[in-house]
Amino acid sequence: MQSHQFDLVLTRPLMWPPILMALNWHTGSPDNLAGYSNQAVDKALDSGDWAAAQAALREDPPAAFVCTHEKLVVVDARIKNPMLGPWEILETLPQWEVAQ
């Protein structure tokens, strides 16, 4: 990867929470496997301006994002039948049951 000896790379980079963008797309980051570099993205990430970082990534995308999920949820196995609401991730939390 570091020598850019590839034609196509398939990966699932995390984009949420926004701080993960710093790991995936900041110049020189160990998780920036494809070697993407953009001064505007770096500046926004360094200042913690996630909206500006996302805007800069839209202007100069590091990859072609196909079939992306906006959010990923991990639920403990002790939760029985968790239901995720359409508006907020945990909107149905009061109805969840914890296995004893």
**pLDDT tens string 9-67:** 777 666 667 777 777 889 988 888 778 899 999 999 999 898 899 899 889 988 776 76
In this prediction the pTM is 0.57
- CB–CB of 3/34 below 8 Å? no
Give, as one character, the DSSP assignment of residue 58. Answer: H
Q: What is the pLDDT of residues 68-84, one digit of tens each?
A: 666 666 777 787 777 66
Does residue 88 have a pLDDT over 60? Answer: no
Q: Where along the chain do its domains lie? A: 1-69, 72-100
